[in-house]
């Protein structure tokens, strides 16, 4: 990627798109959804299903 002449321009475009308010809000929502998914076995109470609890922890 370093050999592409437009790599710097693409990086700047992605930085501008990621710094907008809607993008930052979506980052926060995504973080909260992942956090809930990770701790949901203990919130919902299905810790007795070990495989399911481990799976949601890893996915979250």
**What pLDDT score does 47 carry?**
66
Contact (CB, 8 A) for 38 and 60: yes
Please tell me the distance from the alpha carbon of residue 56 to that of residue 13, in angstroms, as a whole number: 34
Global pTM value = 0.64
pLDDT of res. 1: 56
- Domain borders along the chain are 21-59
Nearest CA to 37 among 23, 58, 18, 20?
58
How many Å apart are CA 35 and CA 48, to the nearest integer?
20
Model pLDDT, residue 30: 93
- Within the chain, which residues score under 70 in pLDDT? 1-2, 47
């Amino acid at each position: 990627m370093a050999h592409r002449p437009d790599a710097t321009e693409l990086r700047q475009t992605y930085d501008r798109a990621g710094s907008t308010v809607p993008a930052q809000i979506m980052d926060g929502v995504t973080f909260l959804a992942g956090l809930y998914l990770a701790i949901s076995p203990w919130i919902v109470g299905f810790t007795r299903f070990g495989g399911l609890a481990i799976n949601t922890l890893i996915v979250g």
